[in-house]
Copies of this chain bind each other. A is one copy, B any other.
Amino acid sequence: MNEFALIRQHFAKAIVNDDVALGIGDDCALLIPPSGKHLAVSMDTLVAGTHFPEGMAAKHIATRALATALSDLAAMGAEALWFTLALTLPKADEPWVGEFCESLLHFADTHNCALVGGDITRGPLTVSVQVHGAVTPNTALKRSGAKPDDIIYVTGSLGDGAAALAVLQQKFTVRRSSQDYLQQRFYRPTPRLQEGQLLVGTASAAIDISDGLLADLGHICDASGAGALVNVNRLPMSEHWRSSVSLDKALDWAVSGGDDYELCFTVPREKINTVEEWIRQGRLKATAIGKITANAGIFMVNNGKTLEFDVEGYKHFD
């Protein structure tokens, strides 16, 4: 089967929303940007063997690729609109494409994000997703807005990405129900889109945690010209794996593991009550873990003792 037939058969099923004037099948898609909004765009690439294990099921590659891209929209407080897909495949494996596509379009629908175009090529398995979202001008959550004394929060729990990878690589064993939890967190992390949009106007800075808390909080600090003090006793970790590893291992995964796709955000003191109220109401699952400091550098403390970490997180070329 050739690429055109593949595209027609599978990707043409994509839902076309009212804001899509022309979808898949021409030289370009034609999109109707929401009036009075700015566009937020981000592109993420997953390479087999680098960003996910070789042989991972097509349906999981699809959800992971879109989830990690949508996570960048979440980090800006943007609403998801559309995405495009560049899919490079070693061969025209029709069942593989069918499974990939069904999973991708279902996940996209869950997040109100329409597939509007892309490219399918032959080569080593690589998936690039570009997401497009909308934000009200001058309200997007940037990395650069944190100020000294702002409180640092993270959504959800940290370390799941690293724990899940260890399970997938058979370096770590958990009970069956925890295995299911961790697989979901790896294959289908939930982009924190609602949380990001809720935080617009309240958070002073935000980033999604893809490279690890230390690295990503570091990006906030660098962009904001500040530092941070984190109390590691406060780091939220899931009981699905926490009690099965040493404290050192747990902190390593939570701080440097990456692949959590939670949001790390900062809140000025005068707006903390708002965030805490959301947390009490169950509208936001988030935990205060520390504060922004005027001095550069990130310090992780445990009962007053400063801890040492590999501060680099995961960097592709190191």
Contact = CB atoms under 8 A, between A and B. Distances in A.
Interface stretch (A18-26, A100-108, A175-183, A242-250): A18-26
B128 A4 contact: no
Contact of A121 (B45, B73, B86, B133): B45
Nearest to A51: B121
B128 A86 contact: yes
A284 interface: no
Interface stretch (A36-44, A150-158, A293-301): A36-44
Interface in A64-83: 72-73, 75-76, 78, 82
Indicate the size class of the contact surface on chain A. 35 or more
- Identical subunits present: 2
Contacts of A76: 26-28, 30
Contacts of A6: 317
A3 B215 CA distance: 13
Interface string A173-210: 00000000000000000000000000000000011100
Interface in A229-285: none
A21 B38 contact: yes
B45 A117 contact: no
B38 A137 contact: no
Nearest to A84: B43
27 contacts: A2-B312, A2-B315, A3-B315, A3-B316, A4-B315, A21-B137, A26-B143, A26-B223, A27-B73, A27-B206, A28-B41, A28-B73, A30-B40, A30-B135, A30-B140, A39-B39, A41-B132, A42-B84, A42-B117, A43-B128, A49-B123, A86-B128, A88-B126, A119-B128, A123-B124, A124-B126, A130-B130
Given A21-B137, A33-B39, A43-B119, 13 more contacts: A25-B143, A26-B144, A28-B78, A30-B38, A32-B38, A33-B33, A33-B37, A33-B38, A41-B117, A43-B117, A47-B122, A86-B128, A123-B126
Interface of A: 1-4, 6, 21-22, 25-33, 37-51, 72-73, 75-76, 78, 82, 84-86, 88, 91-92, 116-124, 126, 128, 130, 132-133, 135, 137, 140, 142-144, 206-208, 223, 312, 315-318
